[in-house]
Structure 1
């Protein structure tokens, strides 16, 4: 009787169970899944142990440190405060759209307050979970798509080295070490978990277990959609998994996928609901999801620029050097720019190569499974990038954390190619494995080094983007928080030299002058801010602080009152107003509790 072939052209295996630890008699130690999992755990902790000492930075402050919504679980069960209660309405919109991630931040806060080490530990555990899921997912996919008992070396080689490189690749540091980017790493974890559970659902022989795995996969998909918008592409990847590697009645398979396809409605419906509630047209799309900015970048220009960004991402995956939290990246506006045409050709070559490999995998070749896996990895890469690197303009043209999920597909294709090389040159198998092990060592060392950079990330950024204003502003922010206002003044001035209309840098410069005790200079700067925007409640409050420290309490009270009137939710102005009024009766003035006056441009 002939063996029935599956979609990859080979006989389907049984359930994709993770095998028990192998004995010396039936497999070498290095093909033992249990050993693989232990090694992956060691690689993750060895590469990220020094991230525990990295302080909060950048968007960690508005979204975590200064966010009242993560300080109580009650916000998850009850109604949120009205918009007027927020100094930054983005906090509310983000909370509504990404509650799963915020729930983990709340648990972090309730367990350990605002100690960054505990947040880093959770981020590391999420990354470890994603690494193990990459291993289990790839292994399960290979078991389902190959003939039972055939080529154990390929099974171990592809699954282990794909997961291992994912674990230690330096480009992942922005999604792991940058605390607030738990949005990205947790969404990726749930994305991977959904696919793994779906494979278990499709491979299980028990009806009860199939139901459990199906419901668990669906719940994981919903949670991913409520963690970050990159999960929108998850149903497309499930479609690829189903129709590239699995079998069954087309009708039953589509019906099984239908609930997952329906989860794609979650994100647009949430955004539409918030938009309907917003009194300012478009504000939710801009502030709530950070998917659209309404500044000066058109969807066409953004899409053109992303052609070049995609090539930069490819370079970062292959040669992860000069990593940068804030790239000074040019905006391209012409499709016929030489560098854009070359980038377009490069992207078409890679994508077309994936389609070509997919076509070859349906032919008569002994490497059909490898070709199918490599093609799937390339398609995964482009699919996972499509939300943030297509026609929807983001506030930033490029960010390294956007590679976290797409890198799984790229690495799967690359390692599959390396395994094909190993099979083609059997005498060179140790050399191929040794080369990848060398890559693991180099990448691990680079990740440890990059984590050290994160301890003073804005100093690193100004060295790599010296002509961009935001890194200088945020370096000043970090210096202010570190108690160095004089050095911060120099950074803010540099930011203003590069971008004279940089409102936040002007505001921060005024605050730095206050902290340095140069009140006259502070007032000069802050009054210029108010001439441009008389309703800037931060500036109104800071003018009050400057006057109060000069002993002019009555003037200070007037500005505190104006700040409080403009934004009653701004607690700092209200606290300063109460203290100033008390001081008027005492005839003296004690400097107010230091305000959170320095702002990073998000």
Structure 2
């Protein structure tokens, strides 16, 4: 890269009307080989940082959105999925839903392919960020000191952003690909705007910018601010006046803003406009476990300060903080002063140094949908995916400015800057590799979560579930009990405790726990189903049937409820209804081997050996070759067939 020459800062900026054509690069650097080498370095660093992420498993929201999501089991079901079949995390997010459906079509539930796509998206976003910064710094209006160091500054920013451990939640945590995908489309929108401005044939670039914006809208709601950021970028960096911006690219900005308006309307936040049709997704009885708007807003300064701390010192990262609502002056006023100060500095910079102010304002705008008044869970690290780019760039720029102030020689600046960047990136890369390791098992990630947020009862709940699935039932029981102690008014720990007690041979205590779960949350399906199974085993069929019916009222297509209810019906003198229930279960989810086996057994008991029973036994074995009972019965049936 060209050496950074020490020159006195120039306060003169060339007005757009006085510049040469933006189609011509400042000094030919746009087309040199060095940017290509920088791109390869970014890709190599990203691959090295996330190579061990491929050993990661499905965790937390991956389970309902991918593992348990029947709507992605084929491309046909993905296309024809009804709203009630779509998990809450993918509701009105078709791009994200189709990416997981394509992953499933290519490799089923093998996490490797999902991680490969996540890394590819992250690397594309990193390359877009690099070239966006580089080309922006080469614009004629930019001071010569920055133009001469454009590739160096862009590379340092992109490397830090790519390997920073704060990005692991958006890259290694599979379903949070929605954050990285929308980040990629966000960057692509602004990048294509810039490229169109520099091109003699801009229509193609502007078309891609519009497509990227609309795809981002179909990915995640944070894209709502992209049209605003694109408009500000155009005004501040490309034209210098609102009149020129609207005259040259008014149609493009109208298309981008229309995407944002559509997103806001679809989300139901335009009270003066007709609302979109109701689209109920899969039942989520715990959706209301969030603070109100006012408490959410008051709590966000503390969260933002924590995000900022993680940018510079990424220690104590946590999958699910369950950040407590701010309930004291110290938790509200002190962080609030920090954030208000940063906002004030941003607006001052917008007035006196608008190009610097733009970086800060863009970072705040990306965070605005999740950090203002729309009540969500208070803190998640993936929300910093794009804002981290602004923090990284301003930090790199500050270091470069300091070296200029120190009046170092060109060689000293190159060596010092290179060494500093290498040390920072290597430290971040090692931290990222270590952070990726906690995603290698559910026990590891939730043990880490419990250690970082010991007040989080859901962390204990998830750790207990992980222990239970590994066969460590006593450890699971302890985690579930601890979760009920931390939050006795949450039905989920009680439901899991009941199931765990049932497995440990304590049906009476299990029934008590399940009844407690139902008392807390009558609309929660699982305790109704588990209680029905327990009551059936205790020969209390009328009560069991009542809970089965209630479970189906909550979700008529739940295959586990249908399967268990069918077994109960058959065992209590109604095999015809049981068979019909199992066929209904298989219609909803044809990939349940035990349902096929149970149906085959019912057919055999009612009708004797026939082709239908054999077909379901073979289907069960094709889904689960280790289902030995099905294999043995099928062999017995085949031995009874007359030889030809």
- TM bucket, shorter chain: 0.7 to 0.9
Question: Which residue is 2:361 aligned to?
Answer: 379
Contact 2:13–2:143, Cα closer than 8 Å, also in 1: no
* In the alignment, structure 1 residue 522 sits paired with structure 2 residue 503: no
Question: Which residue is 1:446 aligned to?
Answer: 431
Distance 1:250 1:38, change over 3 A: closer
Distance 1:250 1:467, change over 3 A: closer
Contact 1:97–1:267, Cα closer than 8 Å, also in 2: no
- Segments of structure 2 that go 5 or more residues without pairing to the other structure are 1-11, 576-592, 596-644
Superposition pairs of residues 36-47 of structure 1, within 5 angstroms: 36-47=38-49
Tell me how far apart the structure 2 counterparts of residues 13 and 331 of structure 1 sit (CA, whole Å). Answer: 49
Contact 1:8–1:245, Cα closer than 8 Å, also in 2: no
Larger Rg: 2
Contact 1:175–1:185, Cα closer than 8 Å, also in 2: yes
Question: Which residue is 2:173 aligned to?
Answer: 178
Note the C-alpha offset of 1:488. Answer: 1.0
> Could you list the per-position Cα deviations for residues 524-567 of structure 1 after superposition, in whole angstroms to 9, with x for gaps in the alignment?
32233345555643222212333556687787566545533553
Q: What TM-score, normalized by structure 2, do the two folds share?
A: 0.78
* In the alignment, structure 1 residue 224 sits paired with structure 2 residue 205: no
Contact 1:10–1:147, Cα closer than 8 Å, also in 2: no
Superposition pairs of residues 99-498 of structure 1, within 5 angstroms: 99-146=94-141, 153-206=148-201, 210-247=202-239, 249-252=244-247, 253-272=249-268, 277-278=277-278, 294=288, 297-333=291-327, 337-361=329-353, 372-394=354-376, 396-425=377-406, 426-427=408-409, 428-429=412-413, 430-455=415-440, 456-498=444-486
Q: What TM-score, normalized by structure 1, do the two folds share?
A: 0.83
Distance 1:402 1:582, change over 3 A: same
Higher relative contact order (CA 8 A, sep 6+): 1
Superposition pairs of residues 78-89 of structure 1, within 5 angstroms: 78=80, 80-81=81-82, 83=84, 86=85
Note the C-alpha offset of 1:431. Answer: 2.3
Note the C-alpha offset of 1:8. Answer: 12
Distance 1:132 1:286, change over 3 A: farther
Contact 1:18–1:140, Cα closer than 8 Å, also in 2: no
Distance 1:534 1:469, change over 3 A: closer
SS of residue matched to 2:267: helix
Question: Which residue is 1:577 aligned to?
Answer: 565
Tell me how far apart the structure 1 counterparts of residues 512 and 213 of structure 2 sit (CA, whole Å). Answer: 54
Name whichever of 138-147 and 483-492 sits farther off.
138-147
Note the C-alpha offset of 1:45. Answer: 0.8
> Could you list the per-position Cα deviations for residues 551-588 of structure 1 after superposition, in whole angstroms to 9, with x for gaps in the alignment?
8778756654553355321111111222344456799x
Contact 1:54–1:177, Cα closer than 8 Å, also in 2: yes
- Segments of structure 1 that go 5 or more residues without pairing to the other structure are 23-31, 362-371, 595-602
Contact 1:526–1:539, Cα closer than 8 Å, also in 2: yes
> Could you list the per-position Cα deviations for residues 214-241 of structure 1 after superposition, in whole angstroms to 9, with x for gaps in the alignment?
1111011000011000000101111121
SS of residue matched to 2:374: coil
> Could you list the per-position Cα deviations for residues 260-282 of structure 1 after superposition, in whole angstroms to 9, with x for gaps in the alignment?
11111121222239965449xxx
Contact 1:485–1:513, Cα closer than 8 Å, also in 2: no
Aligned pair count reads: 550
Note the C-alpha offset of 1:380. Answer: 1.4
* In the alignment, structure 1 residue 5 sits paired with structure 2 residue 14: yes
